Amino acid sequence: METKKRIVVFDLWETLIFGTKDSAMTLFYRDMLGENLTPEQLSRGMLIPETRPRLFLEQFLRLVAPANHSSLLFSLTNDSSPLYQKITHRFDAAIKQDFASIRWAPGAVDLLQSLRRKYRLVAVSNLWAYQKRHLLRELGLGEHFDQMFFSCDTGIPRAQMLGQLVQRLGTDARDIVCVGRSYEYDILPAVNAGLSALRLECPDNVIHPDPAQRLIDEEFTQEPAPTTARPPEPEALVVIPPFYKLLGSHNNRINLGAAELAAYLGGRGCPTRVYHCDSEPHESYATRYQMVFNSIEFYEALKNDRSFKDFERYYRQQTADLVFVTCGDILNPSVDSGNWDASQKIAAIARRINPKAFIVAVGPEIGRESADFDLIVHGEIEPLLDAIRRRAPRGRVKGELLSQEELHRFPVFDPACMATPVSPVSWDTVIWRRGCLGTCDFCRVAQINQGRIRAKAVETVFREINWRYRDLGVRNFYIVDANFTANRDMVLDFCRRLKSRFPDIHWRTESRFDTLDEELLRAMSASGCSHLKLGLENTLHERHQVKTKRVSLSNAEAWIKKIQASGIKCVVYLLLGGKWFTPAQYRQMYANAKALDADGYTVSLFNPYPDTPSGIPYEEWRRRGFIGSHLDIRLIDFWKIPLDVVEDFFRLELGKGREDRTVRSFTGRGAAARIGTTQK
């Protein structure tokens, strides 16, 4: 009981809660009057006690508006004025926008709950009066603080309130520690008031509860505080954000990174659900060519796509305290990687609904800045999962590669954990191995795996195939592997056993020209391989290709013929960009690609991913508004690719048709109408 006499005082804004940079009042004032509020006007406005928005606004304008704007105030006080509805509507809209973004900082609720076992907690903050009801109701401030002093209630600024704190609390200054993030606005005013102050270090906006509590304990006792451990969380939710939906299509295949994560958690006794924002209950898609056009409105779609609302409704009903949000898929190099803004939007929704959630970002395309994530993991996450369940690591960490031994014991994914339906056709992907022998300078797989390949046990792969084969009737599979033919003996054994177990299936995979072998091709064909995809990227000349993949056109042409002769159809990946080629060089690329006479082509635009050897700086990436897709129309201008060349290459792709066109339909324009709207 003695320790309960001790008091920890927090500022709220930018310490425990955050939101928009500008308040509703600031936004409204700038919108209606074309001016910015001065610091003096802001300070005076926060002393107004009126909580009802319209009456607050009236008092604010009487207090701070200059004389030449008195007509605005006059209109506000008379509902017969034509401006009345406009003024009140805009202020209500600004408040709604403000409230929608206000949420707890990652780790804040954990810290408060832990501290409240030992200390009295007090909030002292400047606050707009109209915000108070929202913060009490939606953020539940009263559940976490014993007392709260707001400038709108006391009629004095926060710095002055700190000077009166000892008297208001009826205690000794030695029993108070003030905690904040800002030296200027938190630490200095507390010290000037004669109070002990502690600066909370929060890199990436993440509060680390255990170290923070130890610092507070030590501030009172002047002795090192014991460490505390947290129990593991009982359930996890893995969320795949929308990506292709924002390109006017969708993606029914489950992100393989999410599936592996869920399987690994389930194998450790952690019940896990997977929510797939990007899926739809049908198999009709926009063409990749159409998605290039749709990509120009990606960020408009990001604002309005209904999949975010659908997830919000789901999460309100089925909350989880451990939430993983993917951003890209390091396990499947054949698809676009994902968008950090979409991942952050999912995290913001989860944070608003469940402030005590521990939210983790995982994947190759995670960004550097974080508002809502407790932890950002770049790389493979499985070796960190036991610690994550204890909420141990926070901030930004690098995930180490899962060992071959652990991958060999990897559990089978349980489809029952899916919270969103997946059509049987889209259960066709099965992952066998991780990594690639290559170290291409544009590839995240190369960057993360550093030329290493690790494999699951073949029996585990066959169990993954079997339940799809038996329960869903899937007969056409995609064996995901960046370099399927890299290990000759392993491939021969795999094909022999596959043919014996599943003699009537067809399957597709990927590899590299420099690991092909005619005996392997015959074995693959005999076991049901229908398509082999190979990356040629640049078809101008081998000296223009990435240095680890310099395949001559004559060699590529020879292997394509051998693949076709074995009964396997060959699909060639083409990549436009990477260097600023001349129009003549691009046209020569097209002529060379067409002359290869492959059975199919997949055309992409070179994406200079930040933090890869061939990428651009992260700041330039953000400034250019790239979306993280090989179908981003912005890349055409970036690489100065002639439009007729782009059309020629996609005409080649569309003319040959996709290898899965017998089970999926593709439309050029049908899905484009919903871009930027909330309609399907």
311-322 pLDDT, tens digit per residue, is 999 999 999 999
Check: CB of residue 262 under 8 Å from CB of residue 238: yes
Check: CB of residue 154 under 8 Å from CB of residue 123: no
- Residues 134-144, mean pLDDT to the nearest whole number: 92
* Vertex 596: Cα angle to 440 and 530 (nearest 5): 80
Q: Other C-beta atoms within 10 Å of 77: how many?
A: 12
Higher pLDDT, 182 or 79: 182
- How far are the Cα atoms of 9, 108, 127, 202, 374 from residue 199, in angstroms, in the given order? 12, 15, 21, 9, 19
Angle subtended by helix axes 518-526 and 488-501, to nearest 10: 20
CA quadruple 527, 528, 530, 535: dihedral sign: negative
For residue 674, pLDDT over 50 is answered with no
Q: Render pLDDT for 100-127 as a digit per residue (tens, 0 to 9).
A: 889 999 999 999 999 999 999 999 999 8
pLDDT (0 to 100) of residue 69: 66
pLDDT (0 to 100) of residue 223: 62
CA distance 441 to 418: 35
> Residue 324 — pLDDT band, cuts 50, 70, 90?
very high
CA distance 507 to 524: 9
At residue 478, φ and ψ (nearest 5 deg) are -115, 105
Q: Render pLDDT for 37-58 as a digit per residue (tens, 0 to 9).
A: 888 888 889 999 999 988 988 8
Predicted TM-score (pTM) of this structure: 0.86
Place of tokens 């995930």: 399
pLDDT (0 to 100) of residue 676: 35
- How far are the Cα atoms of 21, 356, 545, 622, 631 from residue 607, in angstroms, in the given order? 31, 37, 15, 13, 9
Q: Render pLDDT for 58-90 as a digit per residue (tens, 0 to 9).
A: 888 888 766 556 777 788 788 778 788 888 888
> Residue 516 — pLDDT band, cuts 50, 70, 90?
very high
429: tokens are 């992907």
> Residue 675 — pLDDT band, cuts 50, 70, 90?
very low
Percentage of residues in the chain with pLDDT exceeding 70?
94
Q: Render pLDDT for 621-667 as a digit per residue (tens, 0 to 9).
A: 999 999 999 999 999 999 999 999 999 999 999 998 888 887 788 88
DSSP H or E segment with residue 603: strand 600-605
User: One-letter amino acid identity for 150?
Assistant: F
CA distance 558 to 577: 25
End-to-end, the C-alpha distance of the chain in Å comes to: 59
CA distance 209 to 215: 10
Check: CB of residue 90 under 8 Å from CB of residue 32: yes
CA distance 572 to 596: 9
pLDDT (0 to 100) of residue 274: 97
For residue 555, what are the contacts with CB-CB under 8 A and spacing of at least 6?
513
The DSSP string of 373-420 is -SEEEEE--GGGHHHHHTT---EEEEEPPPPHHHHHTPPPP-GGGBSS
Q: Other C-beta atoms within 10 Å of 650: how many?
A: 18
Q: Render pLDDT for 548-557 as a digit per residue (tens, 0 to 9).
A: 677 888 999 9
Q: Other C-beta atoms within 10 Å of 218: how many?
A: 13
CA-based nearest residue to 277, from 377, 419, 388? 419
CA-based nearest residue to 123, from 172, 179, 175? 179
Q: Render pLDDT for 341-383 as a digit per residue (tens, 0 to 9).
A: 999 999 999 999 999 999 999 998 988 877 899 999 988 999 9
- Burial of residue 636, with CB atoms counted within 10 A of its CB: 0-12 exposed, 13-18 middle, 19 or more buried: middle
Helix (H, G, I), strand (E, B) or coil at 626: coil
Contacts 24+ apart (CB under 8 A), 198-203: 200/15, 202/105, 203/395, 203/396
DSSP H or E segment with residue 509: strand 506-511
- Residues 522-547, mean pLDDT to the nearest whole number: 88
Higher pLDDT, 298 or 329: 298
For residue 671, pLDDT over 50 is answered with no
pLDDT (0 to 100) of residue 461: 94
For residue 225, pLDDT over 90 is answered with no
> Residue 234 — pLDDT band, cuts 50, 70, 90?
low
User: One-letter amino acid identity for 313?
Assistant: R
> Residue 459 — pLDDT band, cuts 50, 70, 90?
very high
pLDDT (0 to 100) of residue 440: 80
Q: Which residues pair with 576 in a beta bridge?
A: 605
The separation between CA 329 and the C-alpha centre of its own chain, rounded to angstroms, equals 11
pLDDT (0 to 100) of residue 588: 94
User: Within 102-208, where are the H helices?
Assistant: 108-115, 129-138, 141-144, 151-154, 158-163, 165-169, 188-192
Quote the radius of gyration of the chain (alpha carbons, Å).
Answer: 29
CA distance 572 to 21: 47
